[in-house]
Chain A
Amino acid sequence: MHSLVITKWEFKNTLSSKKFITIFLLQVSILILMIIFFNSFMGNIEPGKNVALTPSLTGFASIDVVDNENLFEKQLNPDILKINRMNYSIAYNRFKNNKTTGLLIVPSDALEKIDRYETLNLSLFVNYNDPKRSVVKSEVDSASKSLSSIITNEWLKEISPENLTQPSVEQTEQGEPLPLQIINKVMIAILLFLPLFLFGNMVIDSIVGEKERKTAEILMAMPLSPSNIILGKSLAIIITIAFQVILWMIILLSAGFNIKNAILVYLLVILTSIPIIGITSMIAAYCKNYKEAGIGISFIYIGIVGFLVVPALAYLSGSTRASTISPMTLVMKLFSGETISTTDLVIPILIIIVVSLISYSISIQLFKRDDVVFGPRPSLFRLFFEFIGILSLIKYIKSKIL
């Protein structure tokens, strides 16, 4: 009951803070920017083509093409190459003056040669001084293969039109390509879990702030136990996260993202926030000031993000055994509409419960100690030895000997 008083007080304070509202709105605008980026990226993916997570820099490398009959130029990829079609003398001078990475020379009588069934000999000058040479070579190679295939087919049509039957190829694909899964599933999962990491500063402000502002003494003097304080403060932040996640989910669903089992997904994300806030409270309870706590959560959050994301990526690449430990994997399975086994459900929830129990117990124990809250603060080693009972053992041995 006392915890709820603290929760109400903290929550009211948060909502009445203009700065919190500003930060909250900025976070929403970041989400909208991410949605725009995501939609733009997905819009650029051509159906049936392999998806690669590479930059899409127009004109990254450059090539000049001497192609009087405009035979080859249209086969080159203008998304990667900056293609200039020009006459030989200008093109050669440009290439000599290092204005381009490559120079492709197509014979001036290319069409006549094709008509005469003669092989087309093309010259590709490549500037090896330029690191983008492999890009130019690869693009010319692809264009040459595709043009070769067109010419061969045309020749065969003319040589032997009656014998052109060839086996057809029918390709069936199983599942979603890995890069597309990474973009689709990981992106949605990251957007859903992101609010969980945006409130670390609030936890620090709420717990370390009491120490820095010297209000912890007043708080401790009130008829509240350390567990009331820690749990009450944490609950206020979990409620704030719950509001933010619901808002983000509404925005994502309105933007057309397909999130199946939305309620279960929501509950699991909120459930995951409980141990994260617990761990953050643990750091905040031990740290002396904002700076120290800030560094502490930066490192711990890297570990938590790793714990959530790495198994999720392992699940996408087909490894199923270890991937079940992460709640993010379960969330991905839920919003993709996959069948959930008991193991899929039990392991992450068990981890959430165990980590929550441990982290909140440690936070409460730390907040109970005057030396941790008011100083002089004991070192982490000392706390650890105390926890495993070594210090009591030493004391016992000393008392026996003396």
Chain B
Amino acid sequence: MKILSLAKKEAYDILNNRIYLLVVFVQIFIVLGAFGLALVSSIATDPELLDQFQVNTEFKVGLSEELEDSPLAHYLKDENLNLIYFKSPQDARASVGSEVIAAVDIKPSTQNISVEIDTTSIFYPVISQKINQALNNYNQAVKLQNSGLNETEIKKVENPINVTEIKINENDKADIALDNPYFVEIMYGFIVPFILLLPFFLASNIVTDSIVGERERKTFEVLLMTPLTSFMVVLGKIIPILLFSLIQSVAWIFLLNFLRVPIYNPFIIFTLIFFIGLGFIGVGVILSMLVDSTKEANSAITLVLVFATFILFVPLFVNIPYLNAILNLIPTVLIVKISSSPHIDPGLILEFIPTILLSLIIFAVAVKYFKHERAIRL
């Protein structure tokens, strides 16, 4: 009951703080911006999607006029490249980086092909892929022509593998905003854990603000004189902050589902982020005990959050085989696995243990430090 009164007061403070509400509002733009960026970059790196959106006018490839209507030009055109003809191969090459993104030429004596490509272009990955495909097809055709095979044999040799796709659960298919590998990897592999943990970065700030703020306003001593134990004071302060953060994370899960990025196993994720949140808030409490002012608390929490960002997000971008066993236990890696899989292996829950233990240890240290602080102050 006593804890509830304190928790209510803290919740009231949070909900009446215009800055916190503004930060929540800013997070909506972060979620939408990250989603939009992932969508646009996925389209920009997918040749098929770019063809669908008909942006191939930008895929300018220079050829000499002699190659007009040549088989090579046909293979390049088949890849939806915009062919621009120049008087000579030298002119085409000189235009790379300005008028065209790449220039292709065949040496008449050897029939060898030369490609000059501007790698600084934003469309370089797509154009390079398309030119490679066209040249592979062209080379294969030349090779097959030289082999003396008839047309039926050529067709057979051209396609030695035939993969038939059998769609299972098509009626119950995952409704994803863009069915593209890059989009799926960047959304689930980085943006989802980033968005779900965003509120906890704010939570650490609220904790330091709440505890150090009390001290600065000289109300901390009054609070400690109330008939509440240190544990009750810590609990009363962190419950509304933890709830405030968890509600935001749940809201972002709903928003992502609305944006057609389905988040699977929300209850399991909720449990995991509850403990992550406890750890973040615990760190905030410990820091509050170590600093003297809001200004110091802000500097310290910024640095701690930078470290936390490294520990939580760098494992998503690096591949260190000998550290895989440890990196797989990092909470963000667990969030990736859980949020993207409709069915998870129950054994995965065991991998939560290090996160839960660490958070509980941080929380226990926070309570102990809080008691110690109380003894010193009084």
Contacts and interface: CB of A to CB of B under 8 A. Distances in A.
Interface of A: 19, 23, 26-27, 30, 33, 37, 40-41, 44, 50, 52, 54-58, 60, 79-80, 95, 97-99, 114, 117, 119-135, 137-141, 144, 147-149, 151-152, 155-156, 159-160, 163-178, 181, 201, 204-205, 209, 290-291, 294-295, 316-318
Interface stretch (B177-185, B232-240, B348-356, B359-367): B177-185
A48 to B, nearest CB: 11
Interface residues of B, number: 91
Contact of A172 (B114, B159, B183): B114
A144 B161 contact: yes
Given A122-B162, A163-B146, A174 B180 contact: no
B181 A131 contact: no
Contact of A167 (B113, B316, B319): B113
B242 to A, nearest CB: 23
Pairs of residues from A and B, 4 with the lowest C-beta to C-beta distance, nearest first: A55-B189, A128-B173, A98-B343, A175-B120
B169 interface: yes
A97 B261 CA distance: 23
Contacts of B70: none
Contacts of B16: none
B165 A181 contact: no
A138 B167 CA distance: 15
Given A129-B173, A174-B118, A156 B157 contact: yes
B115 A156 contact: no
A145 B85 CA distance: 31
Given A50-B125, A56-B318, A128-B172, A119 B165 contact: no
B228 interface: no
A208 to B, nearest CB: 9
Contact of A160 (B149, B160, B170, B295): B149
Interface string B301-341: 00100110010001011111000100000000100100011
Contacts, number: 253
14 contacts: A27-B303, A54-B186, A54-B189, A55-B336, A98-B342, A129-B168, A131-B188, A131-B340, A159-B149, A166-B143, A170-B113, A171-B116, A290-B294, A290-B295
Contacts of A125: 166, 168
Contacts of A170: 112-115
Q: Quick one: which of B129, B163, B316 has the most chain A CB within 10 A? A: B163
B161 A23 contact: no
A137 B184 CA distance: 12
Contacts of A152: 140, 157-158, 160
A44 B319 contact: yes
A55 B168 contact: no
A140 B164 CA distance: 11
Given A129-B169, A290-B293, A316-B120, 10 more contacts: A27-B303, A37-B317, A52-B45, A54-B189, A135-B185, A140-B163, A163-B146, A166-B142, A174-B116, A318-B121
